Structure 1
Amino acid sequence: MRFLIVRTDIRAAADVDIAAAWACGGRLRDETTAPEPRRQIVHAEERDAALLLARALATVGAVRSGRQRVKVLPLDEPGGGLRVASDDRGS
């Protein structure tokens, strides 16, 4: 399974926006429509390697001070290798 490790800037949110999101039961940030600005992107083929890279990126001063965050995103579905079509004709 492949992974993408991304270091992004954290967008500041006003108190009014936070209160409105809580009151409406909605989300404050929606990554699908407006993703955070990316600072660094790294690719890994295995989960352990992805987590090791994420830990390394988490040592950056901006991440430690809370201005940036590190995300590990899976690129493939688990067990998403080659699919063999089933044959329902029986044996």
Structure 2
Amino acid sequence: MRFLIVRTAIRAAADTDITAAWAGGRRLRDETTRPEPRRQVVHAEDLDAALLLARAISTVGAVRSGKQRVKVLPLDDPHHRRADPGGPGT
């Protein structure tokens, strides 16, 4: 299985945004509607390689200081497919 390793910038959130999200029962950050800006993208062919690359990328100062984050995403996992938005049941 192939993986995508992504280093992204973390968007700052104001206290009022946090309060509004909490009160409205919604998410503060929703990656499907407004993804964080990408800083680096790397591909790996298996999980071991992906985790090794993610650990290496995590040593970047901005990640260690909490300004950026590293995500490991499976690219072709048949068990985690999204439902077809135009398919049956919609």
Q: Same fold by TM (over 0.5)?
A: yes
TM-score (norm 1): 0.83
Deviation of 1:6 after TM superposition, in Å, equals 0.3
Aligned structure 1 segments of 4 or more residues deviating by more than 2 angstroms: none
Larger radius of gyration: 1
- Residues in 2 aligned to 1:43 and 1:20: alpha-carbon distance in whole angstroms: 37
Identity in percent: 82
Aligned residues: 80
Residue identity opposite 1:58 in structure 2: S
1:76 corresponds in structure 2 to: 76
Paired with 2:60 and 2:19, the residues of 1 have a C-alpha distance of: 31
How many angstroms does 1:25 deviate by?
1.2
Structure 1: any 5+ residue segments left out of the alignment? 80-91
Residue aligning to 1:3: 3
Instruction: Kindly state the Cα deviation for residue 78 of structure 1 after the two structures are TM-superposed.
Output: 4.5
Alignment of 1:1-91 (within 5 A): 1-78=1-78
Unaligned runs of 5+ in 2: 80-90
Q: Normalization by structure 2: what TM-score?
A: 0.84
